[in-house]
Structure 1
Amino acid sequence: MSNKNILVINCGSSSVKFSVIEPNSGDLLLSGLAERLGDNEACITFKHDGEKSTVGLCDKKDHSEAIRALVEKLNALALTNTISAVGHRIVHGGERYAAPCIVDQTVANAIADLAKLAPLHNRANLTGIEVCQNIFSDLPQTAVFDTAFHQTMPKTAFLYGLPYELYQEHAIRRYGFHGTSHYFVSRQAAEFANKSVDQLNVISAHLGNGCSVCAIKNGQSVDTSLGLTPLEGVMMGTRSGDVDPGVIFHMVDQLGYSIGEINDIFNKQSGLLGVSQLSNDCRTIEEAVDKGNEQAALALDMFCYRIAKSIASYCAALPSLDGVIFTGGIGENSALVRSKILKQLHLIGVQLDESRNNDTCFGKSGRITSDQGVAAWVIPTNEEWVIAKQTYQLLQE
């Protein structure tokens, strides 16, 4: 292909995140975010050549208008004709998709059907595909699934201890998410460890508003903390993570909550926000801790302890441990969180180097432990580059 750039689209329910990427080098030619779609304050922000600009959206203020505003920017920068395909991030691929694919009607129907497993995400992802098919009608569209990397998990890891027919008939199982992120950082870690990917054994912690931990054996996902939905696992920004299911029955039967109210509490009012009673933003929590806020300190300690416990538990899935990876907004930028987590992992041979840890933030990567013992690395993720690369490779094939 003479025009190699890939337009990467990540549609949320009220947002569109986008990038134009050269797939081989990873060079970012344009990026941005349309947010508050459906609201009078809807706007779109572009980043190009180190400069940022924001414009308001008018008329419908929906995904279609946001992508049309993107097209105007692409035309103004003479980038439109350099794009060879549109790659879409799709959150849930179920068991059907273990690799990227070209979007045709069958794939679109499958994404719609899988919306029952991720209603907020897949429906928005499909909206992005439909809008781009109309606007970029001459370009192939590809789907890259967040769940795909975890399709190598064995049944012992992905099944729940529930009646087997619930898996057979209704596909109830652990799927995992953040797959493109865990995939990317594990490939980067292989270079740090000076090993081939198929010999690499690591535990990856993607820590942001959503969090997941992944055990990677010989370069493949063999266990992960997020489950059927992005609610399971460690404590997150607004999500509870693991809770005794009996709590739900108690809240319904004894406290009078509706299922809808419980769903909202577990997904939107819990985690760092719920425990701190302050914020879901780790930066705000850390600032409050510095000022002596005990509730914020409790939230941060719970957050770090549960992540450390999850990392330690995944040692059971690996024959050896080359290292622990921190990525995502919190994992890449919070030296305090990394320090609190690693200090609880001394039994697995991790020796934190405070100086390295404090110096490795804001886009920097590298080892944050001593040269002896098990490594821990900070590796900034780049899910958009993974989508661009896999889209280009798929079209080449």
Structure 2
Amino acid sequence: MTATRVLVLNSGSSSVKYQLLDMRDSSRLAVGLVERIGEETSRLKHTPLTGGGEPREREEPMADHEQALRAVADELAADGLGLDSPELAAIGHRVVHGGLKFTEPTVIDDAVMKEIERLVPVAPLHNPANITGIRTAQALRPDLPQVAVFDTAFHTTMPESAARYALDVKTADEHRVRRYGFHGTSHAYVSRKTAQLLGRAPEDVNVIVLHLGNGASASAVRGGRCVDTSMGLTPLEGLVMGTRTGDMDPAVIFHLARVGGMSIDEIDILVNKKSGLIGLCGDNDMREIRRRIDAGDEEAALAFEIYIHRLKKYIGAYYAVLGRVDAIAFTAGVGENAAPVREAAVAGLEELGLAVDGALNSVRSDEARLISPEYARVAVAVVPTDEELEIADQTYALVSDRNA
């Protein structure tokens, strides 16, 4: 029997998201989420997608990721999809930061783990949780290939002119300060799917991808390769996000420390968790912001205008970087569902060949689709992202090649 299943794990600091896929047809067999790991009561939501099983929830203390993943293994086994199945080919792990070393999906061994650990200082909120998930999965199935798929990998093709800050070279190199970018699996998947939507090969298409969720990033993709992206050393740089400032004069930090008397930790929390849309208007849910705007709320309207202004700046900048743009693709929670954001983002950019058809833009669908009128020089697309499928595809391709 050829093993064709891949379990995808996305381990956060207090959560684990998972999907089990059959790579023969990319179908999902089960999906789930464990929340509040390490708290008094944890919650596991599990949904089998085969065999007619019903969604299940359980609440119980789960002290750590090992307990959480053992609970996941039990739920999968109850559906006949246990981790001991000979049909399981590999476990694919989302790892946020791979630095410059990891440009492709990588089978995890001791040397790879050491390098992921070495990158903790540049991803202190993410890599430790990813490491914990990997170690737990290794303990559960030590015989199975474990594959790391890195958020940063797709962006390692950026030229030095885009990746380097104008910081003293010695200092930057000593502390690995450069622009790495994130959301790479989404940008890779969406740029490729956009080319398919246009009926062209990825290497023939230039795409601006706008990944707009609570975290948000833009990328300029030339012929299937990233040449620029909005996030930098950390996910703080770039677009206005749900709780992050995005681009800001770095001297604001000095000012808050010297004049405001704030500590580095306080500023860190401020710019990452208490700013962006929630800092501007008290809401980081675009649906609620639009409801408030429709009700005449000026604070929400200004927050929306600031969000769109930054978005337009990046569209224009990446148009200049690429020189020729074949398509702009909106993706992720806001990009896929917020028609007013898409409309506002391209409004006034007709001279760049951009336009949105109101009727097409208002249609809600889970399918990739064009929302630009036929006369538009540049296609505007909505392309639902699928980071889990991208991780599974990369994982399965790697282990299949090794076994060939």
User: In the aligned structure 1, how far is the partner of 2:40 from the partner of 2:374?
Assistant: 54
User: In the aligned structure 1, how far is the partner of 2:348 from the partner of 2:280?
Assistant: 21
- Residue in structure 2 matching 1:64, options 63, 66, 70: 66
Check whether the contact 2:197–2:368 (CA below 8 A) recurs between aligned residues.
no
The root-mean-square deviation of aligned C-alpha atoms, in Å, is 1.3
- Residue in structure 2 matching 1:121, options 126, 140, 151: 126
- Residue in structure 2 matching 1:303, options 292, 300, 307: 307
Tell me the CA shift for residue 24 of structure 1: 4.4
User: In the aligned structure 1, how far is the partner of 2:286 from the partner of 2:137?
Assistant: 35
Q: Structure 1 stretch 163-172 or stretch 379-388: which is displaced more?
A: 163-172
Q: Which amino acid aligns with 2:266?
A: E
Residue 212 of structure 1 corresponds to: 217
User: In the aligned structure 2, how far is the partner of 1:229 from the partner of 1:369?
Assistant: 33
Q: Which amino acid aligns with 2:269?
A: D
User: In the aligned structure 2, how far is the partner of 1:269 from the partner of 1:146?
Assistant: 24
Tell me the CA shift for residue 170 of structure 1: 1.9
Residue 370 of structure 1 corresponds to: 373
For 2:195, what is the secondary structure of its paired residue?
A: helix
| Equivalences, count | 394
Residue 260 of structure 1 corresponds to: 265
Residue 335 of structure 2 corresponds to: 331
User: In the aligned structure 2, how far is the partner of 1:273 from the partner of 1:354?
Assistant: 28
Residue 6 of structure 1 corresponds to: 6
User: In the aligned structure 1, how far is the partner of 2:103 from the partner of 2:165?
Assistant: 20
Check whether the contact 1:152–1:222 (CA below 8 A) recurs between aligned residues.
yes
Tell me the CA shift for residue 319 of structure 1: 3.3
Q: Which amino acid aligns with 1:247?
A: V
- Residue in structure 2 matching 1:316, options 295, 317, 320: 320
Query: Gaps (5+ residues) in structure 1?
Result: none
Check whether the contact 1:23–1:385 (CA below 8 A) recurs between aligned residues.
no
List, as ranges, runs of 4+ consecutive aligned residues in structure 1 with deviation greater than 6 Å.
none
Q: Which amino acid aligns with 2:11?
A: C
Tell me the CA shift for residue 41 of structure 1: 3.4
Tell me the CA shift for residue 362 of structure 1: 4.8
User: In the aligned structure 1, how far is the partner of 2:253 from the partner of 2:25?
Assistant: 48
Q: Which amino acid aligns with 2:239?
A: V
For 1:237, what is the secondary structure of its paired residue?
A: coil
Deviations 1:187-235 (A, max 9, x none): 1111112211111101000000100000000110000000000000010
Tell me the CA shift for residue 140 of structure 1: 1.1
Residue 286 of structure 1 corresponds to: 290
For 1:120, what is the secondary structure of its paired residue?
A: coil
TM-score norm. by structure 1 comes to 0.97
Query: Gaps (5+ residues) in structure 2?
Result: none
Tell me the CA shift for residue 254 of structure 1: 1.3
For 2:290, what is the secondary structure of its paired residue?
A: helix
Residue 160 of structure 1 corresponds to: 165
Structure 1 residue 135 corresponds to structure 2 residue 137: no
- Residue in structure 1 matching 2:247, options 239, 242, 245: 242
What is the percent sequence identity of the aligned residues? Answer: 44
Tell me the CA shift for residue 364 of structure 1: 3.0
Q: Does the C-alpha gap of structure 1 residues 87 and 316 become closer, same or farther in structure 2, counting only changes over 3 Å?
A: same
TM-score norm. by structure 2 comes to 0.95
Check whether the contact 2:48–2:79 (CA below 8 A) recurs between aligned residues.
no
User: In the aligned structure 1, how far is the partner of 2:91 from the partner of 2:348?
Assistant: 43
Check whether the contact 1:22–1:388 (CA below 8 A) recurs between aligned residues.
no
